[in-house]
Structure 1
Amino acid sequence: MDELTNLGPAKWELSPREGRVPVWLYANSQLAEKMKRDRTLWQASNVSKLPGIIKAAEVMPDGHEGYGFPIGGVAAFGMEDGIISPGGVGYDINCGVRMILTNLTASDVKPKLNELMTKLFTNIPSGVGSKGRIRLTREELDAPLREGAQWAISKGYGWAEDAERIEENGRMMEADPSKVSDMAMKRGAPQFGTLGAGNHFLEVQRVAEIADEKTAKAFGIESKDQVVVMLHCGSRGFGHQVCDDYIRVMLDAAKKYDIALPDRELCCAPINSKEAVDYVGAMYSAVNYAFCNRQVMTHWIRETFQDVFKKSPDALNMHVVYDVCHNIAKFEEHEVLGKKTKVCVHRKGATRAFAPGRKEIPQIYRAAGQPVIIPGSMGTASYLLVGAEGAMKESWGSTCHGAGRTMSRHQAIRDYPAAAVQKDLDSKGIVLRATGKEIISEEASGAYKDVSAVVASVQEAGLSRIVARVEPMGVAKG
């Protein structure tokens, strides 16, 4: 089944075609071959069989097997005959990443790096089951679920300008907390304002290379060695519970609407059904939870920099560059057969990457294109990209989301002893703060694909362009 036919630069088609539409992969030949080693291609082929899918089931170069859709999966569905599937969004709803500027240089930060990382690690709660500094009752959680990052800003956690520098202005208007279970509220309330564990992180980084000076300047990147902060986290146990709850709902819905599922993990419901509308209301509540989460942590990051460097966040020029989602389904307008058409785009482990001119891009960036932030693995580079026209034509305005795992956490613990990983980071001058040894092993860079090969692939395929490469100085891990 997994024969790949080259269609052009970094683009492949899976044959034989078994679904309603083809399966397309965006990757160099080495990354494409790696996808044959797990269930990525099988899962993508199953996605291609779902009702109402348009054009292709697509996989980004960081693709690997997930639940239902492969991680790195992108698919769009028609509004009349299409479906929505929790397996096409994932458990960590609106897992996403934010970049924050500073006007500091690496030489400014280096003497205070240990102090800075210790204080960031202290001020931003992290780890499995970690509890937040903001104590909200389940009833009080309703407002941030409806208002997203805008709630946090209204409570003093951030600047008014932050909202426009977030995908969807940090708020999904269709969020409906009444569609969220008591269990999700119970899990979400104490974890609000926490980083979490797994591949989530906070990094202090230096700009190592600028590939596109004009676009970099538009995004606030002025020079090499400028220090930025990257924050990667999601909706915590709240989003996980929403996904869990609605997988059960969608299994029943698939039977009710007589949808033939190629894999029960792709359980789904017609877009206009009650079950789908309820899921969207709950899923967007989790999206808003994650936007709000990253917003309150941005406030604490700014406070910590002020404490360490004795300058206000304003004086340190700590503007948000942008904040992007990785796991979401959204209703967007795209060109289908030459006509502007509303479709439901599922991005699971994929990033929106709109080309210049789209009205969804903030006015300050509209001429340049949407900023796209691609985190690497622990101790490796990360990238700032910009959306390109190829993404609008090929992949529903989507690109990759990171490095992508190549091995399980259990195998990483066996293969990468924490002491060896720590020694490697020390040799690179990277300061690490982590909650335990297991997470250091699980997140070793060897457990992931090469992020540089991933971003080179999306650039070659024309989905996005490299603007700058950043390298870690300090890492905080849950």
Structure 2
Amino acid sequence: MGVEIVQGYTLVREGVNKWRIPKFGKMKVDAVVYVSDALKGTLHEDQSLRQLVNAATLPGVVDPVIGMPDIHEGFGLPIGGVMAIEKQGVISAGAVGYDINCGVRLLRTDIEARDLSREILYKLIERIEHYVPTGIGKKGKHTGVTRQIFDDVVHRGVEAVIEAGFGSYEDLDYIEEGGKLHGADISAVSREAQERGEEQLGTLGGGNHFIEIQRVDCVLDEELASAFGLFQGQVTVMIHTGSRGFGHQIATDYTKILWEAAKKYGIDVPEKGLAAAPIDSKEGKSYYKAMAAAVNFAFSNRQIIMCDVIKAFEDILKKPADSMGFRLVYDVAHNIAKWERHGGRDLLVHRKGATRALPAGHNQNPVSYMGTGHPALVPGSMGTGSYVVVGTDRLAESFYSVNHGAGRRLSRTKAKSITKQEFEKAMGDVIYNAASYKDIVDESPLAYKDVEEVVSVLVKRGATVPVVRLAPLAVIKGAD
């Protein structure tokens, strides 16, 4: 056991890589943060611990509020935050975030990375960009179809876009929640949000969103890798994006609505970023309906992009998708609130920059992964590796949650000071699409924590099993 004071908070060590902040003051429950000694220093650099402590004061919160190994300061709940609420408690827009259902999906192929020359990789990312608009505010290339099916998409999720010709019904078995969060209702969404959504299905966006062509660099568990269809030297594609302007507008609208609702219901919310209302209130129910609509939009957005990526490969490699072995491995949400069963109770689990990871045998696993646990996807930065991991039974202590990435080390403002020479050195041989490094310098590998160290935090606790490490070959980013 050990005790340390960080940012004025008392942290008590509880075994390997786990630290607890015992409740004090208005806290209703403890806060827990999973970090190694090497990562603990980053807790001194921002307000993430304060944000965990604030979340622990909300009505109905269940012990504990959790910070994942990639934790860093956000708006309200820190990014890398997990908060479970009982039925009589509150729902918080800030504990989900502005990019509702920002998430990652992984595609596998039968293509060997050694068969893709740099020339082919350049052609592939150019062709992908031809189909998938990148950057802030861009409109989709399929608006003739997506505007017509928009209402259907937000209510029914990926099934609606499959019916419109994007992918196959088999894909539903490899998407969290089957590609649809129940309870969505477009009537709870502002007209402004709807107008933004109708134009943006099939778009990547900017910031930390990306499409990455990768190589399976290292197989760490042969049996699990084989079950997931992954092998050494294989080409994979990772897609990271969310609900775009649609979800952002919903979060903006409901942060204001829930902030006022908190006053109305006499709820003590410590900061606007945690704006919350009772789950069963009119405002709380409306937010859930709107949030679910954005969740379904995001799953569908990644589905459309996946189909466009496969199309680009067909164009450049002159082969049909089936012959190249394209298959969806899994799609996970990062920013979401949903009802789950934990410890015999139904809880509304808010994850903000965190990923669900169900172990083998858990009854909420998709049938295809019941015997293994479903893959959890942990992207690093665009110049470093990413991981596929699987949760173990020990993850029950974090509501079956793992980190969603490496986590930022530098703010976007501070990252702008990275020089071209530093940026290029960090990227190494990885191909990127930006005309100028300045367009994406805030996403430099130097702006992120060491993904190897971050992933090892839960591995060393026996909470996750690493399956494969993925190395980037070429990456597509959108400028802000």
For normalisation by structure 1, the TM-score amounts to 0.95
Give the 3-state SS of the residue equivalent to 2:475 in structure 1: strand
Give the 3-state SS of the residue equivalent to 2:330 in structure 1: strand
Root-mean-square deviation (CA, aligned residues, Å) is 1.4
1:381 aligns with 2:369: no
Partner residue of 1:9 out of 5, 10, 16: 16
1:370 aligns with 2:374: yes
1:91 aligns with 2:98: yes
Counterpart amino acid of residue 12 in structure 1? W
Give the 3-state SS of the residue equivalent to 2:323 in structure 1: coil
Partner residue of 2:175 out of 159, 166, 172: 166
Instruction: State the match for 1:129 in structure 2.
Output: 137
Distance 1:267 1:424, change over 3 A: closer
Deviation at 1:383, TM superposition (A): 0.3
Question: Partners of 2:335 and 2:143 in 1: how far apart?
Answer: 26
Instruction: State the match for 1:360 in structure 2.
Output: 364
Partner residue of 1:64 out of 52, 56, 72: 72
Instruction: State the match for 1:457 in structure 2.
Output: 457
Question: Partners of 2:435 and 2:9 in 1: how far apart?
Answer: 40
Partner residue of 1:406 out of 389, 406, 409: 409
Larger mean Cα displacement after TM superposition, 11-20 or 373-382: 11-20
Counterpart amino acid of residue 166 in structure 1? I
Partner residue of 1:115 out of 106, 120, 123: 123
Give the 3-state SS of the residue equivalent to 2:170 in structure 1: helix
Question: Partners of 2:391 and 2:149 in 1: how far apart?
Answer: 37
Once the two structures are superposed, the pairs formed by residues 149-164 of structure 1 within 5 Å of their partners are 149-164=158-173
How many percent identity over aligned positions? 43
Larger mean Cα displacement after TM superposition, 369-378 or 183-192: 183-192
Partner residue of 2:321 out of 313, 330, 341: 313
Give the 3-state SS of the residue equivalent to 2:167 in structure 1: coil
Cα deviation digits, residues 316-352 of structure 1 (max 9, x gap): 11100000000000001111xxxx1110000000000
1:145 aligns with 2:148: no
Question: Partners of 1:89 and 1:319 in 2: how far apart?
Answer: 29
Once the two structures are superposed, the pairs formed by residues 179-218 of structure 1 within 5 Å of their partners are 179-218=188-227
Instruction: State the match for 2:113 in structure 1.
Output: 106
Counterpart amino acid of residue 184 in structure 1? A
Partner residue of 1:292 out of 286, 290, 300: 300
Deviation at 1:423, TM superposition (A): 5.2
Question: Partners of 2:437 and 2:222 in 1: how far apart?
Answer: 40
Cα deviation digits, residues 382-401 of structure 1 (max 9, x gap): 00001211112x01111100
1:240 aligns with 2:248: yes
Q: Is the 8 A contact 1:353 1:463 kept in 2?
A: no
Deviation at 1:419, TM superposition (A): 5.5
Q: Is the 8 A contact 1:62 1:401 kept in 2?
A: yes
Deviation at 1:121, TM superposition (A): 2.2
Distance 1:156 1:82, change over 3 A: same
Question: Partners of 1:456 and 1:17 in 2: how far apart?
Answer: 30
Deviation at 1:411, TM superposition (A): 1.3
Q: Which runs of 5+ in 1 are unaligned?
A: none
Question: Partners of 1:352 and 1:439 in 2: how far apart?
Answer: 32
Instruction: State the match for 1:477 in structure 2.
Output: 477
Q: Is the 8 A contact 1:379 1:445 kept in 2?
A: yes
Counterpart amino acid of residue 308 in structure 1? I
Question: Partners of 1:421 and 1:102 in 2: how far apart?
Answer: 30
Instruction: State the match for 2:238 in structure 1.
Output: 230
Distance 1:74 1:373, change over 3 A: same
Question: Partners of 1:462 and 1:175 in 2: how far apart?
Answer: 36
Question: Partners of 2:342 and 2:23 in 1: how far apart?
Answer: 28
Deviation at 1:418, TM superposition (A): 4.0
For normalisation by structure 2, the TM-score amounts to 0.95
Question: Partners of 2:426 and 2:52 in 1: how far apart?
Answer: 36
Q: Is the 8 A contact 1:127 1:435 kept in 2?
A: no
Partner residue of 1:396 out of 399, 406, 417: 399
1:33 aligns with 2:33: no
Question: Partners of 2:421 and 2:143 in 1: how far apart?
Answer: 36
Distance 1:140 1:156, change over 3 A: closer
Once the two structures are superposed, the pairs formed by residues 305-344 of structure 1 within 5 Å of their partners are 305-335=313-343, 340-344=344-348
Partner residue of 2:274 out of 259, 266, 269: 266
Question: Partners of 1:41 and 1:195 in 2: how far apart?
Answer: 31
Partner residue of 1:219 out of 220, 224, 228: 228
Deviation at 1:36, TM superposition (A): 2.3
Deviation at 1:296, TM superposition (A): 0.4
Counterpart amino acid of residue 400 in structure 1? N
Instruction: State the match for 1:422 in structure 2.
Output: 424
Deviation at 1:436, TM superposition (A): 4.7
Question: Partners of 1:123 and 1:138 in 2: how far apart?
Answer: 17
Larger mean Cα displacement after TM superposition, 112-121 or 126-135: 112-121
Deviation at 1:448, TM superposition (A): 0.8
Q: Which runs of 5+ in 2 are unaligned?
A: 1-7
Question: Partners of 1:210 and 1:138 in 2: how far apart?
Answer: 42
Deviation at 1:87, TM superposition (A): 0.6
Give the 3-state SS of the residue equivalent to 1:17 in structure 2: coil
Instruction: State the match for 1:302 in structure 2.
Output: 310
Q: Is the 8 A contact 1:254 1:269 kept in 2?
A: yes
Cα deviation digits, residues 345-383 of structure 1 (max 9, x gap): 000000001111123211111100011001111111000
Give the 3-state SS of the residue equivalent to 2:142 in structure 1: coil
Distance 1:161 1:435, change over 3 A: farther
Question: Partners of 2:44 and 2:81 in 1: how far apart?
Answer: 15
Distance 1:462 1:439, change over 3 A: farther
Question: Partners of 2:471 and 2:403 in 1: how far apart?
Answer: 19
Instruction: State the match for 2:431 in structure 1.
Output: 431
The number of residues matched between the two structures is 468
Give the 3-state SS of the residue equivalent to 2:114 in structure 1: helix
Distance 1:439 1:8, change over 3 A: farther
Cα deviation digits, residues 291-311 of structure 1 (max 9, x gap): 010000110111111112222
Deviation at 1:245, TM superposition (A): 0.5
Question: Partners of 2:258 and 2:171 in 1: how far apart?
Answer: 36
Counterpart amino acid of residue 477 in structure 2? K
Cα deviation digits, residues 219-276 of structure 1 (max 9, x gap): 111x211110000000111100000100111011101111011223211011111111
